[in-house]
């Protein structure tokens, strides 16, 4: 058994039990609450609100999941066990890789939970298998990119007071909320005040949810896929570089 | 502890010393101010930007009068949860036990904590309402209404803080607090009046009308619009007293056990 596999298995055994309820209930709860609260308020034209809403719930849950990654990276890095790992003859990136694999497993669980609760309320995947595979790949790429930056933040604050009380993730709730709620994932751009249209239309959450919605409907513009692909790739490269640097810095 | 002349009520004075300990703590670590002021303020702004236009189109009235009280209460709750995150740690390092051994009335550590929560809520409600006024809210009540408006969240947060204390002193760490926070903040939002209650499924109406947060938000909304909401206010006070009667003893008993534990390392 390689070090990565061993550490990932340890993580799954230790964390999944406490983390799993949150990974399953957060998407279901968010979907139900926003769907109930907004379905008769927001005018989405032709498309029904559950169908419109689901992609942004996926993105929001990914962001919320990344917040738990912050706390986990902090705990993992500052613990005696984390210290011990850094003395072993394994790559300094092994703990990071294991944490990222865990995040992907968690992301798959959350994605399944979101789609199941979506189906209960009228969301449907109308595209072919190709669309579905692309849909899943986008979600996983986004999960990985956000987990990388979350991990970097978690390792970065692991020596401060805020890291020790497990509160660093709380502060990131604010940017999470602004990105998801001020996007075309929640409401068409016309629902927002005029001065905000530029931000709402071009921010990454709007772009990605737009692509995911198209893929779910089985009818997506190439330009939309290209722009989301560029965002995901850019975020992966940038956040990956930061995470690797952070992990190495505190040697 | 200090040489200043003792006040007439020593319990109040000692509590104030403990409350000040919290203020200093919150000033040094930003988590509690962020959760009780920054987070709800941004929540108010983002949510209003998201639904303001649509609610105006449907109901013809401004959703701000419901949203400002909602965010004030939600912020008070999330602040209490942020305070609660640290309680398990304070117990484990033996800080609670050290307070227990000080030559003061033992109740004052707990009352001081509640006083600190009350002051924090007063400040955050004022800030959030000021931001609401910046967004277009017009407070039509007089000084009496304003006083009541500011005191309603304080009354609610004292009970909520007791719930958080009762749970946090018994919990292994802070994560369990999520399970109190989620339903509580959802209940607050369900009373905001946006979504309009008629847009929700009819089986939910009784649930929404009779839950404890409904009269609280309704009172604050009416006060802001310049009326005196006798019935909602009475209901809110009854809910609060009932809540305090249930969780108060649990909080005191749990706190005593945690304080007498001596911490895990000490």
Residues 6+ apart with CB under 8 A from B168: B84, B85, B87, B88, B174, B176, B177
Tell me whether residues A41 and B194 touch, CB distance under 8 A. Answer: yes
Query: Is a pLDDT exceeding 50 seen at residue A230?
Result: yes
Confidence at B230, pLDDT banded by 50, 70, 90 = confident
Contacts of B34 in chain A (CB under 8 A): 170-171, 174
B234 touches chain A (CB under 8 A): no
Nearest to A42 among B54, B86, B196 (CB): B54
The pLDDT, as a whole number, for residue B9 is 66
The pLDDT, as a whole number, for residue B232 is 86
Contacts of A178 in chain B (CB under 8 A): 42, 46
Query: Is a pLDDT exceeding 60 seen at residue B7?
Result: no
Compute the C-alpha angle A28/A209/A109, nearest 5°.
35
Residue in A with minimal Cα distance to B47: A181
B215 touches chain A (CB under 8 A): no
Domain residue limits at A88? 3-249
CA A14, CA A18: separation in Å to the nearest integer? 8
Residues 6+ apart with CB under 8 A from A39: A49, A50, A53, B199
CA B91, CA B97: separation in Å to the nearest integer? 7
Contacts of B50 in chain A (CB under 8 A): 181-182, 186-187, 191-192
Residue with tokens 């298995």: A9
Tell me whether residues A167 and B58 touch, CB distance under 8 A. Answer: no
First to last CA, chain A: 25
Residue with tokens 């005196």: B228
The residue-averaged pLDDT of A201-211 equals: 89
Phi, psi of B258 (to 5 degrees): -65, -40
Confidence at A139, pLDDT banded by 50, 70, 90 = very high
Q: Which of B47, B61, B49 is nearest to B221 (CA)?
A: B61
Cα A210 to Cα A65, A66, A188, A192, A236: the distances in Å are 21, 21, 10, 17, 19
Query: Is a pLDDT exceeding 70 seen at residue B1?
Result: no
Count up the domains in chain A and report the number: 1
Tell me whether residues A182 and B89 touch, CB distance under 8 A. Answer: no
Over residues B177-201, the pLDDT tens digits come to 877 887 787 777 777 666 777 777 7
Tell me whether residues A174 and B38 touch, CB distance under 8 A. Answer: yes
The pLDDT, as a whole number, for residue B184 is 80
CA A34, CA A31: separation in Å to the nearest integer? 6
CB A35 within 8 A of CB A125: no
Residue in B with minimal Cα distance to A18: B175
Residue in B with minimal Cα distance to A33: B186
Q: Which of A208, A169, A192 is nearest to A57 (CA)?
A: A208
B31 touches chain A (CB under 8 A): yes
Kindly give the residue spans of alpha helices, DSSP state H, lying in A157-221: 161-164, 168-171, 173-181, 197-202, 204-217
- The b/e string for A17-35 (b: 16+ C-beta within 10 A; e otherwise) is eebeebbbbbbbbbbeebb
The pLDDT, as a whole number, for residue B199 is 73
The pLDDT, as a whole number, for residue B153 is 92
The more confidently predicted of residues B80 and B7 is: B80
Over residues A81-130, the pLDDT tens digits come to 888 888 888 888 888 899 899 999 999 999 999 999 999 988 888 888 88
Tell me whether residues B182 and A29 touch, CB distance under 8 A. Answer: yes
Query: Is a pLDDT exceeding 70 seen at residue A48?
Result: yes
The pLDDT, as a whole number, for residue B248 is 93
Query: Is a pLDDT exceeding 70 seen at residue A162?
Result: no
The residue-averaged pLDDT of A124-149 equals: 90
The alpha carbon of A197 is separated from its chain's Cα centroid by a whole number of angstroms, namely 24
Least confident interval from A192-196, B160-164, B206-210? B206-210
The residue-averaged pLDDT of B144-163 equals: 92
Tell me whether residues B89 and A164 touch, CB distance under 8 A. Answer: yes
Length, in residues, of chain A? 251
Percentages helix, strand, coil for chain B, rounded to the nearest 5? 80, 0, 20
CA of A72 to nearest chain B CA: how many angstroms apart?
Answer: 12
Confidence at A202, pLDDT banded by 50, 70, 90 = confident
Most confidently modeled range among A39-43, B45-49, B58-62, B102-106:
B45-49
The pLDDT, as a whole number, for residue B266 is 45
Contacts of A170 in chain B (CB under 8 A): 31, 34-35, 39, 82, 85
CA A123, CA A107: separation in Å to the nearest integer? 19
The neighbour count for residue A229, using CB atoms within 10 Å, is 17
Q: Extract the tokens encoding A106.
A: 């968690």
The pLDDT, as a whole number, for residue A15 is 80
Tell me whether residues B175 and A18 touch, CB distance under 8 A. Answer: yes
CB A48 within 8 A of CB A135: no
Contacts of B35 in chain A (CB under 8 A): 170
Tell me whether residues B50 and A192 touch, CB distance under 8 A. Answer: yes
A37 touches chain B (CB under 8 A): yes
Q: For chains A and B, what is the number of CB pairs under 8 angstroms?
A: 91
Query: Is a pLDDT exceeding 80 seen at residue B261?
Result: yes
Q: Extract the tokens encoding B120.
A: 């924090």
CA B159, CA B153: separation in Å to the nearest integer? 10
Tell me whether residues A36 and B201 touch, CB distance under 8 A. Answer: yes
Contacts of A173 in chain B (CB under 8 A): 39
A170 touches chain B (CB under 8 A): yes
The alpha carbon of B53 is separated from its chain's Cα centroid by a whole number of angstroms, namely 29
Least confident interval from B53-62, B213-222, B231-240? B53-62
Please tell me the pTM assigned to this model.
0.83
Residue in B with minimal Cα distance to A179: B46
Tell me whether residues A33 and B186 touch, CB distance under 8 A. Answer: yes
Query: Is a pLDDT exceeding 50 seen at residue A10?
Result: yes
Residue in B with minimal Cα distance to A197: B49
Domain residue limits at B205? 10-260
CA A82, CA A247: separation in Å to the nearest integer? 11
A14 touches chain B (CB under 8 A): no
Q: Is residue B68 part of a domain?
A: yes
The residue-averaged pLDDT of B219-223 equals: 89
Count up the domains in chain B and report the number: 1
Q: Is residue B3 part of a domain?
A: no
CB A243 within 8 A of CB A152: yes
CA B181, CA B191: separation in Å to the nearest integer? 16
Element (H, E) at A38: helix A3-38
B199 touches chain A (CB under 8 A): yes
């Amino acid at each position: 058994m390689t070090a990565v596999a061993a550490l990932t298995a340890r993580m799954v055994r230790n964390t999944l039990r406490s983390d799993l309820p949150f990974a399953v209930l957060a998407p279901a709860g968010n979907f139900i609450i926003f769907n109930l609260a907004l379905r008769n308020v927001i005018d989405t034209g032709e498309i029904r609100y559950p169908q419109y809403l689901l992609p942004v719930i996926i993105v929001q849950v990914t962001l919320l999941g990344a917040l738990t990654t912050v706390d986990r990276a902090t705990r993992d890095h500052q613990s005696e066990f984390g210290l011990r790992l850094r003395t072993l003859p394994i790559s300094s990136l092994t703990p990071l890789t294991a944490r990222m694999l865990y995040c992907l497993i968690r992301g798959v669980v959350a994605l399944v939970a979101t789609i199941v609760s979506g189906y209960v309320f009228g969301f449907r995947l109308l595209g072919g298998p190709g669309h579905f595979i692309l849909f899943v790949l986008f979600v996983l790429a986004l999960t990985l990119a956000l987990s990388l930056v979350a991990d970097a933040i978690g390792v970065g604050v692991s020596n401060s007071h805020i890291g020790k009380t497990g509160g660093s993730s709380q502060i990131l709730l604010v940017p999470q909320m602004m990105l998801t709620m001020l996007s075309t994932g929640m409401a068409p751009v016309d629902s927002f005040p005029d001065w905000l249209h530029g931000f709402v239309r071009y921010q990454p959450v709007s772009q990605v949810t737009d692509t995911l919605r198209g893929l779910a409907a089985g009818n997506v513009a190439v330009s939309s896929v290209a722009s989301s692909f560029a965002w995901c790739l850019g975020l992966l490269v940038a956040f990956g570089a930061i995470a690797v640097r952070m992990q190495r810095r505190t040697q | 502890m200090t040489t200043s002349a003792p006040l007439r009520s020593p319990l109040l004075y000692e509590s104030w010393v403990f409350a000040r300990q919290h203020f200093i703590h919150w000033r040094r670590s930003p988590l509690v101010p962020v959760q009780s002021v920054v987070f709800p303020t941004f929540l108010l702004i983002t949510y209003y930007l998201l639904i303001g236009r649509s609610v105006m189109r449907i109901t013809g009235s401004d959703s701000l009068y419901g949203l400002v009280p909602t965010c004030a209460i939600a912020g008070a709750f999330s602040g209490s949860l942020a305070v609660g995150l640290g309680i398990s740690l304070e117990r484990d390092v033996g800080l609670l036990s050290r307070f227990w051994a000080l030559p003061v009335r033992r109740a004052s550590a707990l009352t001081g904590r509640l006083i600190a929560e009350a002051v924090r809520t007063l400040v955050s409600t004022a800030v959030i309402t000021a931001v609401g006024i910046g967004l277009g809210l017009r407070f039509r009540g007089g000084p009496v209404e304003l006083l009541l408006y500011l005191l309603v969240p304080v009354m609610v947060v004292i009970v909520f803080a007791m719930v958080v204390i009762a749970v946090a002193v018994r919990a292994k760490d802070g994560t369990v607090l999520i399970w109190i926070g989620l339903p509580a903040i959802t209940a607050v939002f369900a009373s905001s009046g946006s979504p309009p209650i008629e847009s929700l499924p009819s089986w939910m109406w009784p649930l929404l009308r009779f839950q404890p947060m409904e009269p609280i938000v309704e009172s604050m909304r009416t006060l802001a619009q310049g009326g005196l909401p006798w019935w909602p206010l009475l209901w809110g006070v009854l809910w609060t007293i009932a809540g305090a009667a249930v969780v108060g003893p649990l909080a005191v008993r749990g706190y005593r056990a945690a304080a007498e534990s001596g911490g895990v390392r000490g």
